[in-house]
Amino acid sequence: MSTDLSPDLSQAIRTALLTGDKRAKVKATRALVRNWRRGELATGFSAEMPDHPAWPEGLEVLSPGQMPKRGKGGSAKNRLALWHSLAHIEFVAIDLALDIVGRFGGEMGKDFVADFLGVAADEAMHFAIIERHLASMGAQYGDLPVHAGLWQAAQETAHDVGARLAVVPMVLEARGLDVTPATLERVKAQGDSRGAAILQRILDDEIRHVAAGARHFAAFCRENGKTAEIHWKSLVKRHFRGVLKPPFNDSARLAAGLPREFYAGIA
């Protein structure tokens, strides 16, 4: 009797999550998404997801409250701090997208798996192009301290796919829709056309990412007999540690399937 010892999707995801080297994590993520799309990686969920992914050796991780304040001016120091912060957001976003597939893909089905593997591939690409932009400034990811707030949201919601969808794509990623346009204009005003193009690409992709979260959250609520708006507000109140702050990019949020009725009342 022969035994198939080839890894399944969850094992490949676990390996990528536990890869700390930044370039190796990007490479592992792209490879597993490509292999799954080609049918070379079985859709199986035999492996448990780690409580925390591996991050680059030597990365200084602080609590959100310990992080130095980032200036908004156009000095080299402020520009570096901005792009380093964006690199960290995108790096952790790779782990968030991989984890939601590995942790909840078995219960949510193939469309969910396909959508969030696509998100993981996008986030890996975003990180890679930001890293190249940092390199043009003579810097790299890991030069400045970072905080673990994004991954704390994953730990808060590790037990419930509804809570994960409500908080990560529908709050944290949706916040990116609000703040990125102003950042893009500031970067453009500094004469950084390449940086502005990167931010525009990320903004366009993030609308699709938030839309995927909203779509699967709505499906989850239908299947469990819940009203999406009411359940979302309940989960955000229970599991999101921050506050929803205006101004909101209502048009981008609406394009992503997040009507104002969802969030305006609890902002």
**Which region, left, alpha or beta, applies to residue 222 given φ > 0 means left and ψ of -120 to 50 means alpha?**
alpha
Confidence of residue 2 (pLDDT cuts 50, 70, 90): very low
pLDDT in tens, 173-198: 999 999 999 999 999 999 999 999 99
Any domain includes 3: no
- DSSP annotation of 169 reads I
- Which residues lie across from 62 on neighbouring strands? 147
Pairing of strands 61-62, 146-147: parallel
Whether 261 is covered by a domain: the verdict is yes
The interaxial angle of helices 193-223 and 76-108, nearest 10 deg, is 30
Query: Of the candidates 147, 121, 135, 27, which has an alpha carbon nearest to the alpha carbon of residue 83?
Result: 135
Task: Identify which has the larger pLDDT, 138 or 65.
Answer: 138
In the predicted structure, residue 3 carries a pLDDT above the cut 50: no
Q: How far apart are CA 13 and CA 180, in angstroms?
A: 29
**53 part of a folded domain:** no
Residue 26 lies in a domain: no
Comparing 9-13, 206-210, 242-246, which segment has the lowest mean pLDDT? 242-246
Residue 34 lies in a domain: no
Within-domain flag for 168:
yes
**pLDDT of 121 above 60:** yes
Structurally, the chain folds into a number of domains equal to: 1
Mean pLDDT, to the nearest integer, of 210-226?
Answer: 98
17 domain residue, yes or no = no
Which pLDDT band holds residue 5 (cuts at 50, 70, 90)?
A: low
Q: What is the mean pLDDT of the chain?
A: 94
* 96 assigned to some structural domain: yes
CATH number assigned to the domain comprising residue 104: 1.20.1260
Task: Give the range of the structural domain holding residue 81, as residue numbers without chain letter.
Answer: 68-266
Residue 72 pLDDT greater than 90, yes or no: no
